Structure 1
Amino acid sequence: MESKDKVRTPRQERSVKTKTAILKAAIRLFTEKGYHGTNTKEIAAEAGVSTGSFYSYFADKRAVFLDAVLLYNREFTERIDQEMREIDLTIEDKKSVLPKLVDSLINSHQVYKNFHNEMMVLYHSEPAVKQLMDEQYDRNRTLTLRYLTLWKDTMVVKDLEAAAFVVFAAIDHVVDALVFSEVSIPVERIKQGLVDMVASYLLGMTTDEAEGESGRG
């Protein structure tokens, strides 16, 4: 195996494409066979490159997995940004926005959906993976705070930073359950329950009040 100081940073378009191909191949194999069931020789073969070429871009299997986590985080954030740009967060009926926010997170999780499970496995055993995922959670909470700030004049909660933490944690947990687990209750009912809970916490709205306001709109 090549030493880490021999790993190069691709600059030419061809080299960038080769590194990306290796990374995508690694994600496919990690998803299908798991991290511990995959080796670098298999990743190189899947990417259509030699094992030596693999080691010119990545020091080892761990390095390519960490880069895969970074790619997952980047594409997840890009998908969220794209989804959120299509939502008008300034409209008066805030309750009607919440289902769209939940759906945007569900849709964003479809990026490398099965790879997420392998990330969670290594989260508890690999400190570097935990650090990268924790940093992503922090970015998501910061993004939540930014969106809540747009609603600060209509919310009943005063501590927006704490509210962002609570709301993101609640939505993230429920969305993960809907995307990655089998649930016995119809998905739409769970989503509605989540929206009702968040609306009550942030806006002080009961389900009946929210329905009345929506009807008037």
Structure 2
Amino acid sequence: MRKTASVMPSELARAAFELFAQRGFASVTIDEIAAAAGVTKGSFYSHYASKHEIILAACQHYYRTYHEQVQAEIAPLRDPLERLHRVLELSVRRCVLDKRNRVFTTEIFALGLQRDDVQRGWAQFYDAVREMYVGLTLAASEAGQLQISDVRRAVDLMLAAIEGVKMRAAFEPHMAAADEQRPIVADLLRILGHEPLLLHTCLPSFDP
């Protein structure tokens, strides 16, 4: 059954993201994207003029769903450190442990070296993520749950650590094993000024 015109752009972006995350940008065709979304190739071109446009749309899909997932995770929480911890768990699970997302973001980095619009889109997303983490970290610091003097510098180091682990995982798959989530999150919290011995007393609900 063909999709209605009103949902085609978002369905095409989602379908493109799924294919790109599995196989990269170069090996996916417009025909495959249209088929995966359940539309004709002609319908595809009524919404996107080129493969590059659907790549940009897939990037926006990735950025939007990340922010939606973050909000869903922290909406019911009130404790500042618990909110920060939950977002770190989500980021590690999504950005490091999920191979599809690692593939997709690696493709963004590579294409961003050639296309300014791709680089700008990633930079805007990354800036928004940084500001989100600055806000979460500052709230936990002001609540006395973190010992930190320079929040922005610590957040930059923490985000760099996530990217470093993600890159290493491409060559050392054990870095992205499921049982690595907890120690990675603990290390990221330490970068943000959390004392390891306080983790279990402050956050008892985080034990599996």
Interval of TM-score (by shorter of Structure 1 and Structure 2):
0.7 to 0.9
SS at match of 2:174: coil
The one of 14, 17, 23 equivalent to 2:13 is 23
Closer/same/farther in 2, CA of residues 211 and 105 from structure 1, 3 Å limit: closer
Residue 138 of structure 1 aligns with which residue? 127
1:150 maps onto 2:150 in alignment: no
Residue 48 of structure 1 aligns with which residue? 38
Q: After superposition, what is the alpha-carbon deviation per residue over 1:125-165, rounded to whole angstroms, capped at 9, x for unaligned?
A: 34222222222111111001111121233243222222222
Distance 2:8 2:51 in 1: 16
Q: Is the 8 A contact 1:98 1:195 kept in 2?
A: no
The one of 60, 73, 86 equivalent to 2:63 is 73
Q: Is the 8 A contact 1:27 1:68 kept in 2?
A: yes
How many percent identity over aligned positions?
Answer: 20
1:210 aligned partner, one-letter code? L
User: Mean Cα displacement is larger for which, 193-202 or 134-143?
Assistant: 193-202
Deviation at residue 210 of structure 1 after TM alignment: 2.6
Distance 1:77 1:181 in 2: 28
SS at match of 1:150: helix
Distance 1:169 1:194 in 2: 14
Q: After superposition, what is the alpha-carbon deviation per residue over 1:169-200, rounded to whole angstroms, capped at 9, x for unaligned?
A: 33454467679962169754663365256337
Aligned positions, number: 196
The one of 13, 16, 39 equivalent to 2:29 is 39
Q: Which has the higher helix share?
A: 2
Unmatched runs of 5 consecutive residues or more in structure 2: 204-208
Q: After superposition, what is the alpha-carbon deviation per residue over 1:15-37, rounded to whole angstroms, capped at 9, x for unaligned?
A: 22122232233233323443211
The one of 162, 165, 188 equivalent to 2:156 is 165
Distance 1:43 1:186 in 2: 30
Distance 1:201 1:47 in 2: 42
User: Mean Cα displacement is larger for which, 166-175 or 145-154?
Assistant: 166-175
Q: Is the 8 A contact 1:178 1:187 kept in 2?
A: no
Larger Rg: 1
1:210 maps onto 2:201 in alignment: no
Residue 190 of structure 2 aligns with which residue? 199
User: Mean Cα displacement is larger for which, 39-48 or 69-78?
Assistant: 39-48
Q: Is the 8 A contact 2:34 2:44 kept in 1?
A: yes
Distance 1:61 1:173 in 2: 30
Closer/same/farther in 2, CA of residues 213 and 49 from structure 1, 3 Å limit: closer
CA RMSD, 1 decimal: 3.7
Closer/same/farther in 2, CA of residues 97 and 181 from structure 1, 3 Å limit: farther
Residue 8 of structure 1 aligns with which residue? none
Unmatched runs of 5 consecutive residues or more in structure 1: 1-12
Deviation at residue 60 of structure 1 after TM alignment: 0.4
Deviation at residue 114 of structure 1 after TM alignment: 1.3
Closer/same/farther in 2, CA of residues 135 and 180 from structure 1, 3 Å limit: farther
